[in-house]
Amino acid sequence: MVSIVLASHGTFAEGIKMSGQMIFGPQENVAAVTLMPEMGPDDLRAKILEAVAGFDDQDQVLFLVDLQGGTPWNQVSLLLGEEGHENWVAVGGMNLPMLISAYGARMGAETAADVAKEIYPEAKAGVCIKPEELAPAEATPAAVAPAAAPAGAIPEGTVLGDGHIKFVMCRVDTRLLHGQVATTWTKQTNPDRIIVVSDGVAHDELRKTMIQQAAPPGVKAHVVPIKKMIEVAKDPRFGATKAMLLFETPQDLLACIEGGVDIKKVNLGSMAHSVGKVVVTNAIAMDQADVECLEKLASLGVEFDVRKVPADSPENFDSMMKKAKSELAAQA
């Protein structure tokens, strides 16, 4: 796996490393190197080399640097020109979208150069202005284009692909579409559409707009009520679609399955705590209604993958349910 050095003035590199782990989970072979006021260029160079020496792969190394032309950038540039460092690559202008994209890209990339080429457009697309009309026309990201209306509707009855929509992932998450989903899970599952299935959100224009704007570059986000999702699942026009489904509650998921949507595996990512619920993992809280709903889903043959991000180790579903029942009984 490609190794990554985060280099910055001050503690920026350490902070962005922590932020990246909050979204993508713990990462191996990643080091933060910081230039502090009392340090000189040679001190920084020594810290960079020390960081690389601790990696499993010291040949394929990607440097994400805060500022082109600054001391961290200059020292990295000098190292890239030395013999034996031909496969080292540097990218300037480090930001969080860049780092998260790098974590995802290196899962399937063999070289630092491959990762650098993949993260560059996403790092640029991560820079935005709100209100949008303040952005100069020439600076409007190309990623906005997919939101435009299609040239024409596909006639009813048309069969695309094999006529059956593909679910690359189905997830229960109280927060629906957020950083962990828009980056880590989309990289892992590669959908071309993200579909939030919720009666409540479908009728809330503000939340609906925010979700659509949170979609990662190149992926369309839609918000539909449960009834519409049931119709879409039976529509052969979606046969070429690879969709990620997001549900706010397990109850919405159950309603979809009982309506005929063929879902076999579900990721339980987050079920927020509220009054009357008990905490069973660091991301899952349940009340009696949730327990009964999840048991019903299990009885229908649904398999559960309980984890926030791909890097997490899955929780044991049966143990989690047992803990929920025990704590709810004690609470009664």
- Per-residue CA distances from 151 to 12, 122, 134, 223, 230 (Å): 45, 26, 27, 20, 25
**Could you give the angle at which helices 317-331 and 288-299 cross, rounded to 10 degrees?**
150
* Distance between CA atoms of residues 96 and 94, nearest Å: 7
Residue with tokens 């935005």: 128
* Distance between CA atoms of residues 28 and 115, nearest Å: 16
Catalytic residue among 85, 164, 178, 273: 178
* Distance between CA atoms of residues 280 and 50, nearest Å: 41
Radius of gyration, alpha carbons of the chain: 23
Identify the DSSP state of 133: G
Catalytic residue among 9, 203, 222, 273: 9
Bridge partners, 32 (sequence order):
6
Q: How far does CA 115 lie from the centroid of its chain? A: 17
**Could you give the angle at which helices 12-24 and 96-105 cross, rounded to 10 degrees?**
50
Active site residue 178: yes
Residues near 137 by beta carbon (within 8 Å), at least 6 away in sequence: none
Active site residue 164: no
Residue 303's CB: how many other CB atoms inside 10 A?
11
Q: How far does CA 54 lie from the centroid of its chain? A: 27
Residue with tokens 């979609």: 215
List, by residue number, the catalytic residues: 9, 178
